Amino acid sequence: MAILLRILLMLIIVYYIISFITRAIPSLFSSDYDTRNEVTSRKKQEQKKAKKNEGEVTIKYIPEKNRKSGGTGEYIDYEEVKD
């Protein structure tokens, strides 16, 4: 019985050591780790700023690049028909 408990205890200890190593090692070798954290924190800050109050309206105008200027069209005269 004592041997079984020792084996179980050793397996638990090995599991925690392996889980710690698998979390720590990639961050040590990755030089982009800090920059990724900065980018995600910046995105979160922008999203917080972008939240709008209820009822607030914002219109962003994006001009069309392929718009024809000085368009010539046909003028159609119309009459209003009353029912």
8 is in which domain, residue-wise? 2-50
User: Would you say residue 11 lies in a domain?
Assistant: yes
User: Would you say residue 62 lies in a domain?
Assistant: no
Q: Got the DSSP string for the chain? A: -HHHHHHHHHHHHHHHHHHHHHHHHHHHH-TTHHHHHHHHHHHHHHHHHH---TT---------TTPPSS---------PPP-
Can you give the pTM of this predicted structure?
0.35
User: Would you say residue 16 lies in a domain?
Assistant: yes
User: Would you say residue 42 lies in a domain?
Assistant: yes
User: Would you say residue 9 lies in a domain?
Assistant: yes
User: Would you say residue 71 lies in a domain?
Assistant: no
User: Would you say residue 23 lies in a domain?
Assistant: yes
Low-confidence residues of the chain: pLDDT under 70: 27-37, 48-53, 65-73, 83
User: Would you say residue 10 lies in a domain?
Assistant: yes
Number of structural domains, the chain?
A: 1
Q: What is the pLDDT of residue 11?
A: 97
Q: What is the pLDDT of residue 6?
A: 95
Q: What is the pLDDT of residue 12?
A: 96
